[in-house]
Amino acid sequence: MSNSREKIINRAVQEIEDGMIVNLGIGMPTMIANHIPAGTDVFLHSENGLLGIGPYPDESELDPDLINAGKETVTVKNGGSFFDNAESFAMIRGGHIDLAILGGMEVSENGDLANWMIPEKMVKGMGGAMDIVQGARKVVIIMNHVNKHGASKVRKSCDLPLTGEQVVSRLITDMAVFDFTENGMILKEVLNGADIASVRENTEASFTVDEALMQKEDSK
């Protein structure tokens, strides 16, 4: 696991609290499941119709009828349940999912998210992302702070077509944690290796710095 990926996942897993119903997006978010502390009693929701995703199966448990939204074979946790896709998105849209952690391509300072298409490329589809960002009670986006050319993915406004407007509650990058509030975008934490100045340098969006964080850095 790359250093930045490790940082992001380690920070993101702290969002998950005991008793939560959590939806993890495909890719990096799915990897968070393996890092949830053993004692935490959460139900992972899979939008293809499963509440209570268990660990990957061993060879003897492998079942083509039991997959997650990323189409990987999984198992079901004790106390889990299966349902159809309309019911699954009733759960999402109806506000019954406490937390969704999804990947992002761009996040804007007012909490807009783009994570489903790049205009010049073949469009594969949004899957369930547009429903999840509108429905989950808290939407946490995880992504690298800058792209491979070093440009900030944390933008004044998104260039890419949106997945949803003002839907992000929290953004976790390999440098920082931001919250999106009525008072705008707020830098809440800097991750190991970064400081407020380096975050500013790598962020196109305008944000304010949380007071506690400011004091913490001042007192160093």
Active site residues: 47
If DSSP codes are grouped into helix, strand and coil, which group holds residue 79? strand
Smallest gap from residue 154 Cβ to another protein (A): 19
Residue 212 is a binding residue for another protein (CB under 8 A):
no
Can you tell me which of 15, 47, 109, 174 binds another protein, judged by CB under 8 A? 47
Residue 30 or 202 with smaller CB distance to another protein? 30
Size of the site for another protein (CB under 8 A): 71
Please identify, among the stretches 1-9, 75-83, 143-151, 175-183, the one whose residues bind another protein according to the rule CB under 8 A.
75-83
Residue 58 is a binding residue for another protein (CB under 8 A):
yes
DSSP per residue over 50-70, as a string?
EEEE-PPP-GGG--TT-B-TT
The CA distance from 219 to 185, in Å, is 23
Q: Kindly write out the interface string for residues 149-178 of this chain, putting x where it contacts another protein by CB under 8 A and - elsewhere.
A: ------------xxxxx-------------
Can you tell me which of 38, 39, 120, 125 binds another protein, judged by CB under 8 A? 125
DSSP per residue over 115-150, as a string?
-S--TTSPP---TTHHHHHHHSSSEEEE--SB-TTS
Residues 6 or more apart in contact with residue 180 via CB below 8 angstroms: 110, 111, 166, 168, 169, 170, 171, 186
The CA distance from 81 to 169, in Å, is 28
Residue 50 or 175 with smaller CB distance to another protein? 50
Q: Tell me the two tokens of residue 203.
A: 């962020």
Residue 85 or 208 with smaller CB distance to another protein? 85
Residue 76 is a binding residue for another protein (CB under 8 A):
yes
Residue 103 is a binding residue for another protein (CB under 8 A):
no
Can you tell me which of 2, 71, 120, 215 binds another protein, judged by CB under 8 A? 71
| Cβ burial, residue 39 (10 Å; 0-12/13-18/19+) | exposed
Residue 108 is a binding residue for another protein (CB under 8 A):
no
Q: What's the distance, CA 75 to chain centroid? A: 22
Can you tell me which of 106, 109, 112, 174 binds another protein, judged by CB under 8 A? 112
Residue 36 is a binding residue for another protein (CB under 8 A):
no
Query: DSSP code of 161?
Result: P
